[in-house]
């Protein structure tokens, strides 16, 4: 064993995920070392507070409050950036890469916002950048897209990519607990981001959708170029409607590519899925990704999308790949070539929709609503009305036949202006699984 080469690993950020990585590398060391033919040394870790009690034992001599000291330590070959954010995390990532080191990251915002610059720094200085843990927690979706599915072009990718939102939606469906109570529990379980708006407003999913889009299509779609909606407007009325119609509500990243015209569309929004689909049955903190490839057909990946152990599993997989690369020079596939594809216009995006409106319960309101939808050639498929808790008001739930996005958005704008409609309508796509 003593003749084996030594690989020193540094961890920047010993929070929930960092401690998971430390714990599981320590536990699995004999197995990993014998597979790799190398000794793994967890050399140093940076923390914000040296005095804080942690779930893993780390000797004080290995701890520092300076992540840059870990990233630039000449003895460390592999740097794990687990501090999050896009400022300091970017500085330490680039510093390590410029020294030719390999960086392993779980930082989706950093990959999404600065991917091209980071990949270029890795290429230029002979280092590597791994980021499996940035998308879908423990599911090896990045490996699947880069390696296992390399023969394919991808007509449609649907992803439940945020464990916190899926946990909240699942519990709203199963229990009548209020949204703040469930969110608090998700935070206590280590699922939610420090800024929970990233989760519940859809931005975390959008970051992950951007990374998946790049890996699948070789093009960067920034989050600001996507339609992004979160789950904060979902009410028990929607959950109830879904249940009655054999549907489930999921916060879904939708990445669609027309394989004939090349047009690409990426969005994040709560979406209704048939209960018969695999993704509709992905519950709690689990993530699920359905990938339709032109060669393989549909493949589905399900696993824990957040939390210490699932994320640590993905980080350790990258560390192992990085070590194999260092020791044996196994060529990782290069990043996809940047490829600009045209964006699909809203009028070419066709779906069925669900629309919930809070309305005044009085004569003529329904006819005004149907006149507004008819004006934009949106054809209503069903209408359901329930009494609402406010006197003199009702909740209307409509579904449409296939309609294009431009038409339905125009109709919703019109509906908002109607005197009988109270507040903003909620619009959700009803996902199709045919014709990918
Ligand atoms: N907050 C994220 C989630 C963690 O809930 O999925 C993993 O990215």
What digits encode the pLDDT tens for the residues 29-42? 999 999 999 999 99
Superfamily of domain 346-435: ACT domain (3.30.70.260)
Quote the ligand 1 centre to 306 CA distance (angstroms): 5
Residue 436 has pLDDT above 80, yes or no: no
Q: CA triplet 377, 381, 383: central angle to 5 degrees?
A: 110
pTM of the model: 0.93
Q: CA triplet 26, 140, 91: central angle to 5 degrees?
A: 70
Q: Which residue of the set 43, 101, 108, 208 is catalytic?
A: 208
Q: Where are the domains of the chain?
A: 6-137+308-328, 141-304, 346-435
pLDDT in tens, 339-393: 778 999 999 999 999 999 999 999 999 999 999 999 999 999 999 999 887 889 9
Q: Say which CATH topology domain 6-137+308-328 has.
A: Rossmann fold (3.40.50)
Q: What residues pair up with 286 in beta bridges, in sequence order?
A: 304
Residue 1 has pLDDT above 70, yes or no: no
> What DSSP character marks residue 49?
-
Among protein residues, the one whose CA lies closest to atom 8 of ligand 1: 306
Residue 311 has pLDDT above 90, yes or no: yes
In percent, how much of the chain has pLDDT > 90? Answer: 87
Strand duo 128-130 + 102-105: pairing? parallel
What are the distances in angstroms from CA 380 to CA 164, 236, 346, 364, 433?
Answer: 33, 22, 19, 17, 21
Please state the atom number of ligand 1 nearest to the C-alpha of residue 108.
8
Quote the ligand 1 centre to 199 CA distance (angstroms): 7
Q: Is 260 marked active-site?
A: no
Quote the ligand 1 centre to 96 CA distance (angstroms): 25
- Ligand 1 first shell, C-beta below 6 A: 137, 162-164, 191-193, 199, 204, 305-306
Residue 144 CB contacts under 8 Å (≥ 6 apart), including other chains: 291, 299, 301
Among protein residues, the one whose CA lies closest to atom 4 of ligand 1: 306
The highest-level CATH class for domain 141-304 is: alpha beta
Among protein residues, the one whose CA lies closest to atom 1 of ligand 1: 192
Helical (H) or strand (E) element with 238: helix 236-244
Which pLDDT value is given to residue 330?
64
> What DSSP character marks residue 344?
P
Residue 109 has pLDDT above 60, yes or no: yes
Quote the ligand 1 centre to 186 CA distance (angstroms): 10
């Amino acid at each position: 064993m003593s003749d084996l080469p030594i690989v020193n690993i540094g961890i920047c950020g010993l929070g929930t995920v960092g401690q998971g990585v430390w714990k599981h590398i320590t536990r699995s060391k004999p197995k990993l070392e014998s597979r790799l033919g190398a000794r793994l040394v967890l050399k140093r870790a940076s923390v914000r507070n040296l005095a804080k009690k942690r779930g893993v034992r780390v000797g004080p001599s290995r701890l520092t409050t300076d992540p840059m000291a870990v990233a630039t330590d000449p003895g460390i070959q592999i740097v794990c950036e687990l501090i999050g954010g896009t400022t300091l995390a970017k500085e330490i990532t680039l510093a390590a890469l410029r020294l030719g080191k390999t960086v392993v990251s779980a930082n989706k915002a950093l990959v999404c916002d600065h991917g091209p610059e980071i990949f270029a720094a890795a290429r230029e200085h002979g280092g590597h950048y791994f980021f499996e843990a940035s998308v879908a927690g423990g599911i090896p979706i990045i490996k699947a897209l880069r390696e296992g599915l390399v023969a394919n072009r991808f007509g449609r990718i649907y992803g439940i990519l945020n464990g916190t939102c899926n946990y909240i939606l699942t519990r709203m469906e199963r229990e009548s607990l209020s949204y703040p109570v469930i969110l608090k529990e998700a935070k206590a379980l280590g699922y939610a981001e420090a800024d929970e708006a990233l989760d519940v407003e859809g931005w975390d999913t959008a970051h992950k959708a951007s990374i998946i889009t790049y890996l699948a299509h070789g093009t960067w779609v920034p989050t600001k170029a996507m339609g992004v909606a979160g789950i904060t407007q979902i009410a028990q009325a929607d959950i109830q409607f879904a249940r009655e119609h054999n549907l489930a509500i999921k916060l879904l990243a939708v990445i669609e590519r027309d394989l004939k015209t090349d047009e690409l569309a990426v969005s994040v929004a709560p979406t209704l899925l048939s209960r018969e689909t695999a993704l509709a049955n992905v519950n709690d903190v689990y993530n699920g990704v359905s990938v339709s490839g032109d060669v393989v057909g549909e493949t589905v990946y399900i696993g824990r999308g957040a939390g210490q152990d699932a994320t640590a599993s993905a980080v350790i997989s990258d560390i192992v790949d990085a070590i194999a690369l260092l020791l044996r020079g196994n060529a990782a596939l290069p990043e996809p070539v940047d490829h600009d594809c045209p964006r699909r216009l809203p009028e070419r995006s066709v779906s069925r929709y669900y629309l919930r409106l809070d309305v005044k319960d009085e004569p003529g309101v329904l006819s005004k609503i149907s006149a507004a939808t008819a004006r934009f050639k949106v054809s209503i498929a069903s209408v359901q009305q329930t009494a609402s808790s406010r006197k003199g008001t009702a909740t209307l739930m409509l579904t449409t036949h296939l309609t294009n996005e431009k038409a339905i958005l125009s109709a919703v704008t019109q509906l908002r202006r109607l005197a009988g409609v109270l507040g903003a309508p909620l619009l959700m796509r009803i996902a199709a699984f045919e014709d990918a």
